[in-house]
Chain A
Amino acid sequence: MSGVVAVIDYGMGNLHSVASALRQVGADEVVVTHDADRLARADRVVFPGVGAIGDCMTEIRRLRCDRLLLDALHTRHKPVLAICVGLQALMSHSQESGGVPCLDILPGEVRHFGTALRDAAGRRLKVPHMGWNEVRQERAHPLWRGIPDMTRFYFVHSYYVDAIERELLAGSVRYGVDFDAALARGNLFAVQFHPEKSHTAGLQLLRNFLEWNGRC
């Protein structure tokens, strides 16, 4: 039983994809909301995000979603999944749009890939990092269950996360640099890729999230 899954809605972009993917893998009920009571009552919380992080942070703070997110994270064993800009918003600071202070829940920086990105063979790499890349599982975690190491997930981003506490690293990707594709701490799992757009592997990760007891 997944119980109620609340997707935090701070008005930035389409959240239907996340909600329909959660339903597809058997969520009992999915609510898309920024209502404090509904979030408090939810059994699981998803913190999504797309677009420019400056605008996202403005709306997150205006709608007090930062407070709601912290409440969820401080609820013992309540599973929380952050996706893409949702992950980036958890960090201390982003280089995007001339510098944006973020929530500082996970210490670290969100950096631009740069304009002269190259792979080990010297080939130029395009930015945004767009498409299916292999995620190296840096450690075992309930959300990786049934997903082979180096499985491809769908990414689309120009900025990447670099967490200070390396013991949080659950998954990494190489794209010119090695960056943090998944961070985990207690009841929080946060990913740079889009599980809701990552076909069977992404759906498996969401299924694992619905079955997770918030411990690792």
Chain B
Amino acid sequence: MSPPPSACATNRGNSMGLAKRIIPCLDVENGRVVKGVNFVDIRDAGDPVEIAMRYNEQGADEITFLDITASHEDRDTTVHTVEQIAEHVFIPLTVGGGIRSVADIRTMLNAGADKVSINTAAIREPELVRRAAQRFGSQCIVVAIDAKRVADVDGVPRWEIFTHGGRRPTGIDAVAWAVTMAELGAGEILLTSMDRDGTKNGFELGVTRAITDAVDIPVIASGGVGTLQHLVEGITLGGADAVLAASIFHFGEFTVPQAKAYMAEHGIEVRL
């Protein structure tokens, strides 16, 4: 296990090194942000472009756009939305949801995504990750892992990958899967705890720490953020390189600058 980050560790002079990232996530269905957004001064709370621009202005480090449109005939809407966001937002944009093939990845990158997130398709066809990394570079291939705690094995905690919104088990060990995905060429892991997603009880720190220790690529922690202290814990205890949250930002409970100020107070390097 790597030693915990220390508030006073500096690289040189006033340099603090690579910042931990805060990533607001937009869940989008048929071109509209769902789960609601409640900014006081926003005209159209469902418009992903306007919301992405707002987070860009607030100083978010990246934006993740998760397409949860059930029917895939409507992908043109998604592509159009991604194009519009990319035209107005000058921070990295990750697009996930329904990415099944190298052609899908190409479409999203051409639309202006900087990275694509692959979830179910990687489970069905792990070689897709290798082909995509070879074709487009590891830097734009994120593998999303939805993990759920299962029965301990010999007293050791174990997490498995679940699909279909956490309903369908796959029997795949989440930590081993993260290692396999990194070996195949994934550039980053987006780890969501299905036990915590939507609970506001904080990240599942056990699986976060297990995966961040097991792989050399960056890990984004997701699922369960309810307070700013949860963001801090994802990094200091979970070892994550970035933290993703939706509702605490959408509903105006906290702004991105408030989250960054809180993290900085707790010794975390952030881009202010």
Q: A-side interface residues toward B, CB under 8 Å?
A: 13-14, 16-17, 20-21, 24, 50-52, 55, 115, 119-134, 136, 150, 152, 154, 156-158, 174-175, 194, 196-199, 202-203
B115 CB to nearest chain A CB (Å): 8
Contact of B109 among A14, A120, A133 (CB under 8 A): A14
- Which residues does chain A contribute within 8 Å of B56, judged by CB atoms? 199
Is the C-beta of B264 less than 8 angstroms from some C-beta in chain A? no
Partner of A150, one of B14, B91, B219, B242: B14
Residues of A within 8 A of B19 (CB): 131-133, 152
Query: Which of B16, B21, B61, B90 is A203 in contact with, Cβ under 8 Å?
Result: B90
A157 touches B139 (CB 8 A): yes
Contact B15 A134 (CB under 8 A): yes
Given A131-B241, A174-B12, does the pair A16, B136 have CB atoms closer than 8 Å?
no
Q: Is B271 interfacial (CB-CB < 8 Å)?
A: yes
Query: Known: A24-B90, A156-B92. Contact between A128 and B139, CB under 8 A?
Result: yes
Q: Which B209-245 residues sit within 8 Å CB-CB of chain A? A: 216-219, 241-242
User: What does the 1/0 interface line of B39-64 toward A look like (CB < 8 Å)?
Assistant: 00000000000000000100101000
Chain B contacts with A in 180-220, Cβ cutoff 8 A = 187-188, 216-219
CB pair A196 B187 closer than 8 Å:
no
B156 contacts partner chain A, Cβ-Cβ < 8 Å: no
Count of A-B residue pairs with CB < 8 Å: 130
Contacts of B59 in A (CB 8 A): 199
- Chain B min CB distance to A47 (Å): 17
Instruction: With both chains docked as a complex, state the minimum distance between the C-beta of A174 and any C-beta of chain B, in angstroms.
Output: 5
Are A122 and B3 closer than 8 Å at their CB atoms?
yes
Q: Which residues of B contact A203 (CB under 8 A)?
A: 90
**C-alpha gap A154/B187 in the complex (Å):** 15
Q: Does B114 contact A (CB under 8 A)?
A: yes
A174 touches B17 (CB 8 A): yes
The residue on A at minimum CB distance from B212 is: A126
B6 interface contact, C-beta 8 A: yes
- Known pairs A119-B9, A158-B138; list 18 more (Cβ under 8 Å): A13-B109, A13-B137, A14-B110, A16-B83, A20-B86, A52-B137, A115-B216, A120-B10, A126-B219, A128-B138, A128-B217, A130-B187, A131-B19, A136-B15, A152-B19, A158-B139, A175-B17, A203-B90
Name B's interface SS.
Answer: loop
Q: Which 8 A-B pairs have the closest CB atoms?
A: A51-B137, A121-B9, A132-B271, A132-B19, A156-B139, A126-B218, A20-B87, A152-B271
The answer on a CB contact under 8 Å between B139 and A130 is: yes
Whether the Cβ atoms of B15 and A174 lie closer than 8 Å is yes
A55 contacts across to B, CB distance below 8 A? 135
| Complex CA distance for A45 and B92, rounded to whole angstroms | 23
Partner of B12 from the list A13, A20, A120, A156 (CB cut-off 8 Å) is A120
Size of the chain B interface, CB-CB below 8 angstroms: 48
**Is there contact, CB below 8 Å, between B17 and A16?**
no
Which residue of the partner chain B has the closest CB to A114?
Answer: B216
B209 to chain A, nearest CB (A): 13
In the complex formed, the residue of B with least CB distance to A122 is B3
In the complex, what's the smallest C-beta–C-beta distance from B48 to chain A, in angstroms?
A: 17
- Given A16, A123, A127, A152, which contacts B217 in the complex, CB threshold below 8 Å? A127
Any A CB within 8 A of the CB of B71: no
Indicate if the CB atoms of A50 and B216 lie closer than 8 Å. Answer: no
Q: Please, which residues of chain A bring their CB within 8 A of the CB of B268?
A: none
Provide the bound-state CA to CA distance between A197 and B94, in Å: 12
Q: How far is the CA of A118 from the CA of B185 in the complex (A)?
A: 21
Complex Cα gap A197–B137 (Å): 17
> In B11-40, which residues have CB < 8 Å from any A CB?
11-12, 14-21
Tell me the minimal C-beta distance from B221 to chain A in angstroms: 14
Complex contacts, A13 vs chain B, CB 8 Å: 109, 136-137, 140
Q: Is B5 an interface residue (CB 8 A)?
A: yes
In the complex, chain A residues whose CB is within 8 Å of the CB of B140: 13, 50-51
- Residue in A130, A175, A196 whose Cβ sees the most chain B Cβ within 10 Å: A130
Cβ-based interface call for B112 (8 A): yes
In the bound complex, CA of A197 to CA of B218 (Å): 18
